[in-house]
Chains A and B, each alone.
Chain A
Amino acid sequence: MKYYDKLIFELSKEGRKGYTLPENRMKEYALTALPDGLKRADVPELPEVSEFDVVRHYTNISNKNFGVDTGFYPLGSCTMKYNPKINEEICSLPAFTGLHPLQPAVTAQGALEVYYNLSRALAEIAGLAEFTLNPFAGAHGELTGLMIMRQYHIKRGDLKRTKVIVPDSAHGTNPASAAVCGLTVVEVKSKPDGRIDVDDLKPLLDDTIAGIMMTNPNTLGLFETEVLEIAKLVHGCGGLLYYDGANLNPLLGKCRPGDMGFDIMHINLHKTFSTPHGGGGPGSGPVGVAKALVDYLPNPQVRKADDGTFYLHRSEDSLGRISGFIGNFGVMMRAYTYILSLGKEYIKYVGPLATLNANYIKESLKDCYYLPIESVCKHEFVFDGLKDKSTGVTTLDVAKRLLDYGYHAPTIYFPLLFHQSIMIEPTETESLETLDEFIEVMRKVAKEAIECPDEVKTAPHNTPVRRLDETTAAKHPILRYRDLAH
């Protein structure tokens, strides 16, 4: 296939069009009547292209992309599982996509039932009382969850609780969400075995602590074995426990955050519940809470009346509104379809099979990649680069070489606990054959690092473009077509 690198603007030709509109039959009311002072002076330089130009252009650039449907995508902490096609069909049903978000609840009962039923299913899976589906993404869910945590303390008049404990292995969004929420971050260290150091935690616990944010299994893919002790300690000091649901997938069918003592959590529907990542979004980040926190959930809340109808409720104690309407409804349709497809009979295998796949890769590669913590993992695990460090081949090089072999790279240089982190998460939807082929390629790259390191250090070689000059991109940002040299 011919390499294609045009921008849509470069196809533009004056007078071409890609749309049809009906005739304006009320044109006696003409826009020209608006005062000149309210109109823009120039015409925006949008492209002028035919419909077929558009179709071919976006089809061609799609060929330069790699998705889950293209190949194995072992991106750690991102849960790149198969995105079922029926989900797409269901979320496109006109009976739902045509609904205006402000139309009366009585005319949107089907949509509200989807919202309500999905929130109940998530509550059962999480072991919590209620869920809001309003947050748009995982980080938005974190922020909402922390707002709930603060609202709880504020409503009790306990105003000095402004600190939140975050482990050093946490996702970057945890401390960032805390800061946006007006909380001060206190870091708790990990032990050499990768778990939270309870002895380091204890002295941090006092009456200024709003709570702790935990990811379990943590970003090393390790189950926090002392979670019950941690819950007891944090609750004992008056704090709440927040569960970062980014790593929920391996727990499906096995255990529930609510049962471990967590009070608040978010779920990434685009990870655990199979909705597509869409090149970065839209996601959805529902937030669940224990019973005592239900009134603090963001407005509006979807409730079920005694007569079985659904309505939007505004809670006076709510933290407020965090979204224009009730969240990314289209994403909820997909996630609910997924849950109904698997049902209680099959959803329970998601966790164990994801864990099986991760451990299988780990055990098959630990002789050529350095495994810093020897332990059964959950859905993912982290290597600290190649075992043989003498070649000078870095984690970045390995990642780029994998692209040549038709794989997306794992997550690299995260978590920050190691210098050469390679974080691998296969998910439950990958077959033994796919894993074996990936293992073989990973071994081959390790061998190449010794035998022909330059081949690896200059990878990728077969991709649509090769390594990019990121320094110049940041030093002299060109962020729009107008600023490109033509």
Chain B
Amino acid sequence: MNYKYFPHTEADIRHMLERIGVRSLDELYADVPESVLLKRDYDLPSSLSETEIRDYFRRLGEKNRSLTIFAGAGAYDHYAPSVISQLISRAEFLTAYTPYQPEISQGTLQYIFEFQSMISELTGLECTNASMYDGTTAAAEAMLMAVAAGKKKNRVLISATVHPNTLEVVSTYAKFHGVQLDVIPACDGVTDKGAMEQMLEAGDVAGVIVCSPNKYGIIEDFTGFADAIHAKKGLFIVLADPSALAVLKTPAEWGADIACGDGQTLGMPLNYGGPYVGYLSCTKDLVRKLPGRIVGATTDVDGKRAFVLTLQAREQHIRREKANSNICSNQSLMALYVTIYMALMGKQGLREVNEMSYSGAHYLYERLLGTGKFEVLYDRPFLKEFTLRSLLPVEAVQQKLLDNGIFGGIEVEKGCLSFCVTEKRTKEEIDKLVAVIEEV
């Protein structure tokens, strides 16, 4: 029993058993039916020392390939300032629980308030919760919000231009929750507004979910969407990359009621898919339908400014089966991550990140078209991600890139590949990618 994570000596255990009035540790399990007691060791590997653990993971790491990332599709390779990982490793943040005792949790509560404030700055919407698991589940929760706000309405529309993984997650939630989810077709790479208006006709739509930049990387123009949706008493939900919102028209400016998406673009490591951080913002009118934790400002008995979890009457631990969402935790530490990122980058840095990504992506776009091996798919504005029709077999392109240490060219639809360029990609890296393509 002598292991570094267990402080118990033999004498301690004897003393404690005596106080409890049992003779052995086994006796503490006397109420467990004999037939289910495990009478063997688990079939697991033997305990490893720290040196062995380091070696083991180093060897496993060698089985991964470090690639130059020219892919997006929901996960983006942005620059992360060194400060962030150092600060979020502070044990006071890392090893705390949900801030149930605000008197000793002001650190967590304060950064969540800052997170809410900054995300609201980007989306333009007044209310933001303390974060969601990821962008896909944030979209699913937005759908649940719309259905809850729509009283008897049980139908939600989602654009075909939403990232496929998000569409799948929202569909799963819809299927089990009993929401009729209908897909608005795409037309020339963007949501078909005319089709949407027709689908709204019946007046039974609780909400409409669209995405910009969309799965092709195209920046969609939502002019007239809000009016059309609001005329039919539905909620307008915009999925948006928060980093891009530093320069692109905000969900609030488009007239959205709810904005959601993934905060991974705010400098978070790719981490093979997680942890990331979803965000969910809404108008003031909807705040009581907003799921998850929310932090509000208040004062203590001495009049000091302080922060606290608020509007808890919405939540599962109070409402139980009547709650609109089952979410209990948030991605607090990841919310801290992007809060520090946004603080460091500030209004100017976030703009520069977008300018550089835009420049690199458009340079690559021109160069790839110049090879004669791709052609324009949709001639529409984009930011850092774009999709081209490949005149070469896509597998050949992807494999050739991989052989040269590059991951890029995700097949968004048959024969069409998307590429993404962030501020981390240098001109040399882009030129190399183009040179590799020339050789295919």
User: Which residues on A sit within 8 Å (CB–CB) of B91?
Assistant: 67-70
Most buried by B among A29, A84, A327, A333: A29
**Can you give 25 contacting A-B residue pairs, CB < 8 Å?**
A7-B114, A27-B355, A29-B360, A43-B351, A44-B245, A46-B347, A69-B91, A140-B327, A143-B326, A179-B323, A253-B38, A254-B38, A277-B96, A280-B97, A282-B334, A320-B171, A326-B273, A337-B53, A344-B47, A363-B19, A458-B301, A468-B103, A478-B298, A479-B117, A482-B120
A364 and B177 form a contact (CB under 8 A)? no
A-contact 0/1 string along B53-64, CB 8 Å cutoff: 110111011111
Indicate which residue in A75, A150, A166, A431 contacts B176 across the interface (CB closer than 8 Å): A150
Q: Chain B nearest CB: distance from A261 CB in Å? A: 9
Cα distance A225–B34 when bound, in Å?
Answer: 11
Q: Are A47 and B172 in contact (CB under 8 A)?
A: no
Query: Is there contact, CB below 8 Å, between B346 and A347?
Result: no
Supply 19 further A-B pairs (C-beta < 8 A) apart from A125-B44, A357-B16, A467-B300. A24-B355, A30-B359, A34-B381, A97-B272, A102-B75, A180-B176, A254-B38, A279-B96, A281-B133, A320-B175, A322-B169, A329-B273, A337-B53, A344-B42, A352-B26, A356-B8, A465-B300, A470-B310, A479-B296
Docked-complex contact A100 and B77, CB < 8 angstroms:
yes
Complex: A109 Cα to B61 Cα, angstroms: 9
Q: Count A-B contacts at CB 8 Å.
A: 696
| Cβ–Cβ contact B53 & A327, under 8 A | no
> What does the 1/0 interface line of B317-333 toward A look like (CB < 8 Å)?
11111110111111111
Mask, A327-361, CB within 8 Å of B = 1, is: 11111010001011111111111001101110110
Q: Does A21 contact B (CB under 8 A)?
A: yes
From B16, B105, B271, give the contact of A330 (CB < 8 A).
B271
Smallest CB-CB separation from B252: which chain A residue?
A40
* Chain B residue, CB-CB nearest to A324: B136
Of the candidate stretches B121-129, B192-200, B227-235, B369-377, the one touching chain A is B121-129
Q: Which residues of B contact A408 (CB under 8 A)?
A: 97, 101, 104
Kindly identify, within residues 454 to 486 of chain A, every residue whose CB is under 8 Å from any CB belonging to chain B: 458, 460, 463-470, 472-474, 477-484
B169, A323: Cβ atoms closer than 8 Å: yes
CA distance A400 to B328 in the complex (A): 23
A68-B95 contact given A63-B107, A324-B136, A376-B31, CB 8 Å threshold: yes
Contact A325 B272, beta carbon cutoff 8 Å = yes
Q: What is the interface size of chain A, counting residues whose CB is below 8 A from a CB of the partner?
A: 199
Q: Choose one: A29, A113, A227; the contact of B358 (CB below 8 Å).
A: A29
B23 at interface, CB cutoff 8 A: no
Judging by beta carbons under 8 Å apart, are A100 and B67 in contact? Answer: yes
Instruction: Verify A429–B5 contact, CB threshold 8 A.
Output: yes
The answer to whether the Cβ of A390 comes within 8 Å of any Cβ in the partner chain is no
Q: How far is the CA of A328 from the CA of B333 in the complex (A)?
A: 13
Partner of B296 from A140, A228, A477, A481 at Cβ < 8 Å: A477
Contacts A136-B137, A175-B320, A468-B298 known; A340 to B64 CB distance under 8 Å?
Answer: no
Interface string of B324-366 (1 = CB under 8 A from A): 0111111111101001101111111111111110111111001
The interface-forming segment of A87-95, A286-294, A443-451 is: A87-95
Query: Which of the listed residues A35, A86, A259, A282 has the most CB atoms from chain B within 10 Å of its own CB?
Result: A282
Q: Give Cα distance in the complex from A51 to B73, angstroms.
A: 31
| Chain B residues, CB < 8 A from A432 | 7-8, 12, 15-16
Bound complex: CA A147 to CA B36 (Å): 27
B22 contacts partner chain A, Cβ-Cβ < 8 Å: yes
Q: Does A417 contact B (CB under 8 A)?
A: no
A99 at the B interface (CB under 8 A): yes
List A residues 248-276 near B (Cβ within 8 Å). 253-256, 259-260, 274, 276
What A residues does B25 contact at CB under 8 A?
352-353, 355-356
Given known pairs A341-B53, A344-B46, the reply for A173 and B304 (CB within 8 Å) is no
- Which stretch (B79-87, B203-211, B432-440) binds chain A? B79-87
Is B150 positioned at the interface, with any CB of A under 8 Å from its CB? no
* Cβ of B180 under 8 Å from chain A: no
B379: CB under 8 A from chain A?
Answer: no
Assess the A31–B354 pair: CB atoms within 8 A. yes
Query: A326 to chain B: which residues have CB within 8 Å?
Result: 272-274
**B31 touches which one: A41, A111, A178, A223 (CB < 8 A)?**
A223
Contact with A along B243-276 (1 / 0, CB 8 A): 0011111100100000000100000011111111
Alpha-carbon gap, A346 to B5, bound state (A): 10
Closest A residue to B114 using CB positions: A8
- Near B by CB (< 8 A), chain A positions 166-199 give 166, 171-173, 175-182, 185
Decide if A55 touches B83 in the complex (CB within 8 Å): yes
Distance between B5 CB and nearest chain A CB, rounded to angstroms: 6
Q: Is the CB of A114 within 8 A of B60?
A: yes
Task: State whether A355 touches B92 (Cβ < 8 A).
Answer: no
In the complex, A364 Cα to B15 Cα: how many Å?
12
> Does B149 belong to the interface (CB within 8 Å)?
no
Q: Is the CB of B169 within 8 A of A17?
A: no
Contact call A65/B5, Cβ cutoff below 8 A: no
